[in-house]
Structure formats: C-alpha cells, structure tokens
Structure 1
Amino acid sequence: MAVSNVPKYHIAMFPWFAMGHMTPLLHLANEIAKRGHTITYFMPRKAQLKLQHLNLYPDLITFHTITIPHIDGLPPGTEIATEIPISLCPLLVETSDLTQDQIELAFRANKPNFVVHDNAHWMPRLAKQLGIKSICYDVVSAATLALVFVPGRNFPKDRPITEEDLSQLPPGYPSSKVVFRGHEIRPLMMITMPMGKNITFYERMVKAKKDSDAIAIRTCEELEGKLCEYMVAQYKKPVLFTGPVLSAEDMKTPLEDRWDKWLGGLNPGSVVYCSFGSEFILEKDQFEELVFGFEVTGLPFLIALKTPRGCATIEEALPEGFEERVKGRGVVYGGWVQQPLILKHPSVGCFVSHCGASSMWESLMSDCQIVLVPQLIDQVLNTRQLAEELEVAVEVKREENGWFTKESLSNAIKSVMDSDSEVGVKVKNNHAKWKEILGKPEFMSGYADRFVQNLHDLVK
C-alpha cells in the first residue's frame, strides 16, 4: 500500500523532558503530520513555550500540556532537564512517571491509534489496556542501544560500573570499533543508578523496549543497519528507522544579525565553532582549559556554552586577560544560538562538539570539519562511530583525569583545519561522501514515508 493510501491515524507522543529528546520527536511529528496524520504531543508547559515555533502543522499537531508534580529534591517549578544538573535527572524522571493518570485520561478521551514514547517503561502496559500500539522511540544511536541496552546485560549492582564491564562485548555485537574506552568512570554510573522509583536506568530502558510493539531509532540503515539487525535479534520485534529527522525549516529562518555580521567579516572556512548542547555544564577549570585551547589555535572562534559551575556569568568564568587577547577573533557566548544556521555559514570551517545525537547528525550534514569531545556514554559511542568507523572526525586526546589539555584540543583542531594535513584531507573526503548520501532530497522524505508505512503494518 502506498503511503498516500495509508489510513489517517492519530498518534500520541510522550518524550523524556529534555530538549535533545523533545525536539527531534517534534521534527518527526512534523513529518508525520505532513502526510496527513494527527498528533497529540504531551509535554510540560515550559517545553511548549520553547517548542511552539517548531510546530509546522498546528492544525494537525496539538500540544497537550501536562502538570509536573513537585517532589522533594527538585527545585520548585522544575519541568525540563535544562533547568537542573544531570545528577538530578533521576528525580525529574520520577515526576514524569507520576503523570500516568493524566496520560490515561487523555488517551481515554482522544483514543489515539499509536503512542510513540521515549523509554517510559509503564507506557506499553497502559497502551495495551486501551488497545493502543506502543512504539519505544530512541534518539540515541543504535550503537549505544546495541552495546549497553540489550536484554540480559549483567551489570554489577554492588559497585559502580567500570570501563572493563563495558569492554565485554555482548555476543554477536557487530562492531569491534564502536566500543567504550579511555574515559572517566563517572558517566557510567548512570546505567545502574535508580531512574524513577524502584527501577534502574538500565531496567527502565530495556523494559520499555521489551514491552512495546516496536522499537524506533533515530538513525538510518546506511549508517547503522547491522546494529539495528542485532537489536531485532535481541528484542524479537520490529526495529524501525526514522532517519536523522532534522528540520529543514531551520534553514528558512535568517541567522541572527549579530552572528551574521560577525561571521561575515571573517574568511571563508576559517572559524571554529564549539557547542556541547543544552544540558552539559563544565567545571570552571575544564572551561578555562577549553577556552585556552581555542586561543592557542590562532584561529577565529565562536564558543557557545552554558556558564560553568560556580560562576554567575560566562564573562566571570573567562580567564584574566582572555577577552582582550582574543578581541576581534574570538567570542565566548553563554546563550542559545541557531546551531544549524551557524554550521551552514560559509565562514565556519570546523565544529567542535560533544557528539550528542542532534549534533552528530548536524555535523554530518554540514561542510565543517568535525572535532569531538564526548562526555556521556552515548556521545562516546557516537564518537567512536564517526572517528573510527566512518573516519569523518577527530577525537580530542584525553588525560588520565578524563579531561584534555589546551594543547591536545588545539592540536586536534589544527590537524583538521590545516589544508595540507593528511588527517584533515582524509576526514574531509570521507565526510563529503557521507554528506552526499545524507543530503539527497529523497533521503529524509523516504525514511518518513517508510516510517508511516511501518506504523500501518503494525495494525494490519
């Protein structure tokens, strides 16, 4: 059956309350609505204020605001992950679980055909009771899911997880390069820590997938086909591709005037842009080492990061004399920027990122050289994929303390920005091949069409 002949469905969406999860799910909602289906998108009030402008089909996509209850340990009024340090996210997850009654009432009133949820382990049970098909949607890479979140992974519960625990590849895991190694242990502890009441992060992720009718992953067959086949074998259920689901509408909005003017005064391909996403916050000494690294490159740069811990403003965090030394060629900014448009600007030639899912796809779709500084486990595995499997990027070498020196950051940037560098030429050529594949006009639309067809196949 052609997608145009698929019956019109009503799809509910319930994401994890983090911008890096809610935004791509809304982009997917736009693609589904573009094909004539209706969506009820559940989110906190504060998220609606941030995402309203990205709703391209307000006649078909309805934002359903849910009330987030307060629990002890969270600052009053907390609704989304960007408001709190990552250490408090387990408590925010607990509040999202407490919205079940609100979701059930809405489902009974609106009667959706499907619910696409972001690892809400209780959602498949609720959906089944109401005759709704459930799809567990992951914005993280298939590499992360296949290495860590597969049934039967026996992580120790009496001690923190170590790199050695994760170096033991699950039977049949289809990659020897996309592995976790050479990083500090702290981010690993999240895997077995409580994430909601009486459930660990690992248990939550696996149960959400095992109990759903299908799993959907924000990836493409060309990049992670074998890893998704492995997921099918592990979970014994369909694994659907959504493609990168980036918003083409971002490119129709003009770049903010201040950045357009500043970048416009610099040479083509000369600027290094850096961002670590909307949630990660650096320690002050890490922040200082990072900005020193950009200074010693001698290249123009734009750094967009959240204010480091213990500082009131980004200006307060800057080393003494730094602003004067880089005046005219370097900017450090603590606010939100239009990342896709900055990456598209002809003056920007390099992107230094944490390799979160959205930044990974945006870097692949850009013409920029790619330098990676991963922080969390999924970012590490994304980095392994780009730097070692695809060879389109360079990872910054770390020290034993888990961070890097200004010299190692500067060397990584210069290695890809030097037009005569063997490394720079190799990653640029490999990147160009992947951009050509991902940038074909029918690439994104083809994945959206197939996803809608896959939904129909679940109810045939």
Structure 2
Amino acid sequence: MAEPSSFHLAMFPWLAMGHITPYVHLSNELAARGHRVTLLVPKKAILQLEHLNHHPNLITFSPVTVPHFNGLPEGTEIASEIPIHNIHFLAAAMDLTRDQIEHFLSANKPDFVLYDAAHWVPEIARKNGIKSVCYNVVCAAALAIALVPARQVPKDRPITAKELGVPPAGYPSTTVVLQGHEARSLTFITEPFGDGIRFYDRTIICMKECDALSIRTCRELEGDMCDYMEDQYKRPVLLTGPVLGLGSDNNTEQLEDRWAKWFAGFEAGSVVFCAFGSQWVLEKSQFQELVLGFELTGLPFFVALKPPLGCETIEEALPEGFEERVKGRGVVVGSWVQQTLILNHPAVGCFVNHCGFGSMWESLMSDKQIVLVPHLGDQILNTKLLVKKLEVAVEVGREESGWFSKESLSKAIKSVMDKESEVGVMVKKNHAKWMETLATPGFMSGYIDRFVQKLKELVN
C-alpha cells in the first residue's frame, strides 16, 4: 500500500472539557503537519473551544447532539454542567450518540478515529475499514494500576480499598502503593458508568478492542508504565507527549484588565494561585477550611473555585469576616478565569492545584512552586508521580478521612514559598531540571512526529 502523505482523522472524546481540550491541541499539531481532523463534539464545547482552532482550513468541528437521558437535566451536554456523582448518566447519554458517530464514519471514511470513552467505536470503525486509536489523556500510571487485565475486578461485588492498594503481578517496581483514603478514591472504577456498564468494563473494552493505544505522556516520565501497558494489551502504545497547546492564541490573549491590575500590585513570585478544575465542587465546610488555610499563610493569594455545594455564590460561602481580613491581599472568585495566563504571570510564585493531568503538565511547564491537593484516583496517581518520583512538588497532608486542615494547607504552601526551606529549594531545583528537559528544542515536536509515523505504520 502506498504511504499516504496526509490523513483524515475523526475524534470523539469523552464529553468533558478536560478531555476535549487535549484532543483540540493534538488536532492543531496534526493540522500543522498537513493532516485533516474532524472533531465530533457537543455544540456547547464547540462554542468554548473554537478560538483554540489554529487551522480552521484543516480542523472542522462537527456538532454531536447529546440525547436526553433520564437523570440528566434537560440540555446537559458536558460534564462540568452536572455534579460528579451524576456522571454515569452523561455516559449513558453519550452511548445514545452511537448512530450519529456511525453515520459520520460510514459517510466520510476517515483513516483513523480517536476516542477514549465510547467503547463501541472500534466495532463500528472495523465495519467501515477505519483504524481505531484509544487516545487517553490521563497518565499511564492511572491506566496501569487500576485498569490492566492482570487485575481481575470481581463482577459480583465492589473491589475493596485494600485490593486496589496492592499492585497486580508484573506491575512496574516504581509503584507507590496506595493506602487509606487514596485507595478508597479508586473504588469508582467499579461504579456504573453508563446504562448497565461499569467504568472498569467500559475502559477495558476501549483498550482491548482498539488497533492501537495512545497516551498523552512521555517516556521520560512514564516509560515503564507504557511498556507495561503494551505488554498487557498486546497493542502498540503511541505516545504524543504532553501536547499542551502552547500555540499562537497564547501569544495574543491578554489577562482581563481587572486581574492584570490586581496582580501588578504584588512583587514577583509572591502570590499563591489556586485552581481545582471544572469538576470538583467542595462541601461548604471543606471550602471554608481551604480559604482559611490561604489566609493563614499570610501571603497574597488568588483562588478560583466553583461555589461549594448548597451555595449559589462564592460570597455567601466565605467564613464570617474573611473578606474584610484579607482585603487587599486575597481574592476568591467563583467564575471562569484565564488559568494559563494567571499561572504564567510574574507575580505568581506558587500553584496549588488538584493535579488533573492537564494541570499537572501546566505545573511542570511553569516555573512556579507546586502544591498538590488531589481528589480522585488519577489525580492521586499524578501526585505520586510529581511528589515521589520526580520530587518537584509537595502534597498537602491529610487526615484519615481524606480531608485536610487549614494548618496542613498553610504548612505545605509555606514549605515551598519560604526561601530558606530545604524542601522548597529541593523541589525548585528538581523542577528546573525537568523544565529544561521538556523545553529542549524538538522535544515536544519529536513526539508528534513519531506519533504520525506510527499512524502511517498502522495503515501499511
């Protein structure tokens, strides 16, 4: 077969912005190399992401109608619109789009289809002579420890925290065994994720039935995990590197004026910035403990979080007297903010985040100190990677219940912001080494070039 000079790739990511956005970033990299991409995503996502399309001549957004499913509010299309405990209803609604996706694939016959949660995609791809690639935007460690075939998840009962804390046979020796609340946080894999299917089973099918696995990571960080996945699934594992989307839009977009003026009032590297992504909604008591922890540091801070459960606004959730006490040095907002621009502002010296995979890479590629407050399974594994293996970050200490105190948050932040702190000096030094590696000319582009070459090999 003659080697094609360019491909047409269809992409159907899970209906969450944290998944769709990396697919858009990958699309830009592929389009920059002359390949055509069609992104099959809900209309609401298109409205939020159109500005990230750097190659509108090659990248097309094709709207997918998300049908209503009982249990979802009318009009729900993306995960950030609903509480995380209702996410299985959205998975069920996504499965009802199968006919739309099949119609597109059969009518357009792309060379490849990339997906991550729609376990039925490989079947319809095969019918139409299309190669399927399961492209995962979470870390390889999360896929390996919780989702490999070597771990037999029982069908007749939930898996226990103890079982999840012990790695399967053959798992890489670099594993950090999970304990207590960490292991409990992974029990979601045996919960429903769709109508009549569990998260575990959906994900296993996604990875067993594809023509190739792909992961948004790099060998320098997770080579052992990637080799393990390849061995377990007997599928080629294609790595794209972090694919951060640091394109032309980042050069022209400017920070909102009111925040630009606020940050301008502080010395370089003095502000603590906190963001927990679009999914995590805190309980009011946890939210209050968090903001009191920032107050306790005595440092200037900028916190961007969703209003906690039961509250319409951030203001009504704040502790009594808090706003007056931190006036002039602390801001807590409940609306969307320009996270990348804020993180890269010279006044920011520390990034407190949940260690979702996107935030993990943003942390690594910034020159800010990193403090981590993971919540769900893959976030905890990402945190282990940064804290234990790379030693570039600190994790906030927790109680057995899984929550932390204002004192433990304040202590973690001070440990990296204090210029005399041994821990702060160590993580800064290690972080600088990794930044140097990741910023090496050709590092990022080399991963994409090799990814494209592997795709060519799949169709030859």
Specify the TM-score bucket, using the shorter chain as the normaliser: over 0.9
Corresponding residue for 2:333? 333
Which one of 7, 16, 19 corresponds to residue 17 of structure 2?
19
User: How high is the TM-score relative to the length of structure 2?
Assistant: 0.97
Say how many residue pairs are matched.
456
Query: Offset at 1:177?
Result: 4.1
Alignment partner of 1:367 is 2:367: yes
Instruction: Determine helix, strand or coil for the equivalent of 1:26.
Output: helix
* Structure-2 residue corresponding to 1:259: 259
**Letter matched to residue 440 of structure 1:** T
Equivalence for 2:116: 118
Q: Spell out the pairing of 1:26-65 with structure 2 (5 A cutoff).
A: 26-65=24-63
Separation in 1, partners of 2:176, 2:55: 38
After TM superposition, the structure 1 = structure 2 runs for residues 106-255 of structure 1, keeping only pairs within 5 Å, are 106-183=104-181, 187-249=185-247, 250-252=249-251, 253-255=253-255
Identical-pair percentage: 63
The Cα shift of 1:168 comes to 1.6
Answer yes or no: is 1:93 the counterpart of 2:91. yes
Residue 394 of structure 2: aligned partner: 394
Contact 2:166 2:178 in 1 (8 A): no
- 245-254 vs 155-164, which moves further: 155-164
The one-letter code of the counterpart of 1:141 is C
Task: Specify the SS of the correspondent of 1:384.
Answer: helix
Matched, 1:286 2:286: yes
Match of 2:80? Answer: 82
Give the Cα–Cα distance (whole angstroms) in 2 for the partners of residues 36 and 319 of structure 1: 54
Contact 1:119 1:137 survives alignment (8 Å): no
CA distance in 2, matches of 1:107, 1:435: 40
Aligned to 2:302: 302
Structure 2 CA distance for aligned equivalents of residues 307 and 334 of structure 1: 6
2:397 is paired with a residue whose SS is: coil
Give the superposition deviation at 1:163: 2.5
Say if 1:365 and 1:435, in contact at 8 Å, map to a contact too: yes
Q: Distance in 2 between matches of 1:184 and 1:166?
A: 9
**Counterpart-to-counterpart distance in 1, 2:325 and 2:42:** 43
Amino acid in structure 1 at the alignment position of 2:403: W
The list of structure 1 runs, each at least 4 consecutive aligned residues, that deviate by more than 6 angstroms after superposition, is none
| 1:53-106: CA deviation from partner (whole Å, max 9, x where unpaired) | 111111111111011110111101100000000111111011111111111111
In the other structure, the counterpart of 1:274 is 274
Residue in 1 that maps onto 2:406: 406
- How far residue 444 of structure 1 moved from its aligned partner, in angstroms, is 1.3
| Residue of structure 1 in register with 2:313 after alignment | 313
Secondary structure of the residue aligned to 1:115 is strand
TM-score by length of 1: 0.97
Paired position in structure 2 for 1:450: 450
Using the TM superposition, give the Cα deviation of residue 185 of structure 1 relative to its aligned residue in structure 2, in angstroms: 6.3
Q: 1:175 to 1:378 in 2, by over 3 A?
A: farther
Please state how far the C-alpha of 1:340 moved relative to its aligned partner: 1.4
Asked whether the 8 Å contact 1:29–1:61 carries over to 2, the reply is yes
Is contact 1:151-1:234 (8 Å) kept? yes
What are the superposed Cα offsets for residues 206-248 of structure 1, whole Å, 9 maximum, x if unpaired? 1111100000001001111111000000000100101111111
The structural deviation recorded for 1:256 is 1.7
Give the secondary-structure state (helix, strand or coil) at the position aligned to 1:58.
coil
The question of whether the paired residues in 2 share the 8 Å contact of 1:30 and 1:55 is answered with yes
Moved more, 184-193 or 324-333: 184-193
Give the Cα–Cα distance (whole angstroms) in 2 for the partners of residues 434 and 53 of structure 1.
Answer: 30
Displacement after TM superposition at 1:443 (Å): 1.4
Give the gaps of 5 or more residues in structure 1.
Answer: none
Deviation at 1:190, TM superposition (A): 1.7
Structure 1's 337 and 61: CA in aligned 2 closer, same or farther, altered over 3 A?
A: same
Instruction: Tell me how far apart the structure 2 counterparts of residues 179 and 25 of structure 1 sit (CA, whole Å).
Output: 31
Residue 332 of structure 1 and its aligned partner are, at CA, apart by 0.2
